A and B are shown apart, each in its own frame.
Chain A
């Protein structure tokens, strides 16, 4: 077989799946955002209308929820970066090679423990009669926005540690040592030498923490109390209100947010490593 034919064969099936199945589905979602639902029968009517978009823009509830969701996503991203940077720095520059491998396994393993189980664990942790209340004598965030942010930050932390670790691993030891030899303090070295070099790695990790938060409605349902995030509202529109077109219209918000975020992050060079 000629190389060209072989390449075409290798690419055909994956491309068919990803372009037709996946991108095709995204296209269907985009189009269906402009459909409507019959008020009497509840059936989806495939006629073009701007009603969903108008409702999205004019009802203040949706703007509030969208803003809250994006702030939560950014907050979770910042918390994860604050936790992940020193951990990744320890793994790559302090730990011995053996310990490093062990730590790498130790930070990735929780990723594979069931997502629901981890969210559920936080439900028990912050419960009014849970361990946090027991230790602090009743001071627990309880169910709400704070618990949601904590739980989401916990859930996605490994996604942030791993790329930053890989980033620090590529930073030569001699650069760090040179900085100390030239009299810089530890803080100055981290801030002026290490962090700029691993910034693309932080950006790469942040894509996951940001995107995963935007798309999550389970964790907020478990620990969020009455808190509403975008994904809850979308789920409610599809399942409870049975309004598929409006759910699709609402999904444009997280889609637009992540596309904008990806464009912003592309300038940092983060996308080359994702």
Chain B
């Protein structure tokens, strides 16, 4: 569209500045992982690959990674089932209180993380504790699943809305029963959204730390918890730097996968 040249230049400058601000810290993290000095200083005195080797054999980081993967996969499956069910209910049925469902689904990420964390902690420890519930991996998964539902829900709901109902109606008119229509028409249509939602739900769980702190208990250490507990230990710093660099770089994976499978570009968390 036609805009005055001065405005175009200003906006372009703002965009470039914004991208620089967004990416410089990430680049710095990657650079820092090759820093040959144990203590941080800028510019780094030299570059080395030693820390990468050390990180690859850091048992603490690797076991935390394992915990995070298990928690992320379980939370993802729960969120996938619940989010898809809610999305179908809202998009394919008319009923009283439909907008309330959307509000309920989005609430866990709208409320401050500390509120969700304290609320779940109070329930697990004070109410369910006497019944034998203890903070552990299961409670982490329950907490993560709760705020991951919205991502699956948003993706599937957007896709269902775009698809409309005419294909499903055509399938029914041609004599297919409910299951046939679902498996042959509806499911292939939403498959991409399901994959995108699942990937993003996993990524959200993988990164979460606030709610995790309050639901994990002492024996469970996810990768973010491991990083946080090692962040201020000087002799662990080089390994933390490498883990941080890896995490900064793998951020492109969920975005790339979600873009590829969804096409709705709903890669935002909101």
Contact = CB atoms under 8 A, between A and B. Distances in A.
A14 interface: yes
B26 A18 contact: no
B31 to A, nearest CB: 10
Contacts of A87: 14-15, 18
B180 to A, nearest CB: 14
Interface SS, B side: helix
Given A29-B119, A218-B228, A234-B118, A22 B107 contact: yes
A94 B11 contact: yes
A269 B134 CA distance: 42
B19 interface: yes
B4 A244 contact: no
Contact of B28 (A44, A103, A121, A248): A121
Contacts of A10: 85-86, 88-89, 93
B6 interface: yes
A83 B11 contact: no
A98 to B, nearest CB: 13
B40 interface: yes
A117 interface: yes
Contact of B42 (A32, A106, A131): A131
A95 to B, nearest CB: 8
B112 interface: yes
30 contacts: A11-B89, A15-B104, A17-B82, A18-B108, A26-B115, A28-B119, A83-B21, A94-B3, A104-B265, A105-B255, A107-B19, A112-B254, A113-B248, A114-B207, A114-B248, A116-B224, A116-B227, A121-B28, A129-B40, A133-B42, A154-B22, A158-B22, A186-B6, A211-B112, A231-B113, A244-B126, A247-B118, A255-B112, A255-B115, A258-B115
A106 B19 CA distance: 8
B75 interface: no
B219 interface: no
Residue of A46, A113, A222 contacting most chain B CB atoms (<10 Å)? A113
B48 interface: no
A220 to B, nearest CB: 12
Interface in A11-49: 11, 13-15, 17-19, 21-26, 28-29, 32, 35, 44, 46
A195 interface: no
Interface string A96-135: 0000010111111111111111101110110101110110
A165 to B, nearest CB: 10
Given A7-B93, A120-B29, A162-B268, A29 B15 contact: no
B135 interface: no
Interface string A211-230: 11011111000100000001
Interface in A179-202: 180, 186
B244 A186 contact: no
Interface of A: 1, 3, 6-7, 10-11, 13-15, 17-19, 21-26, 28-29, 32, 35, 44, 46, 83, 86-87, 89-91, 93-95, 101, 103-118, 120-122, 124-125, 127, 129-131, 133-134, 154, 157-159, 161-163, 173, 176-177, 180, 186, 204-205, 207-208, 211-212, 214-218, 222, 230-231, 234-235, 238, 244, 247-248, 251, 254-255, 258, 262, 271, 274
Contacts of B270: 159, 162-163, 204-205, 208, 274
Nearest to B128: A28
B110 A211 contact: yes
B174 interface: no
B142 interface: yes
Contacts of A134: 42-43
Contacts of A212: 112-113
A94 B12 contact: yes
Nearest to B2: A177
A248 B15 CA distance: 42
B99 to A, nearest CB: 9
Which 9 pairs of residues, A with B, have the shortest CB-CB distance? A215-B112, A121-B25, A86-B14, A113-B251, A215-B113, A114-B247, A29-B119, A186-B7, A25-B119
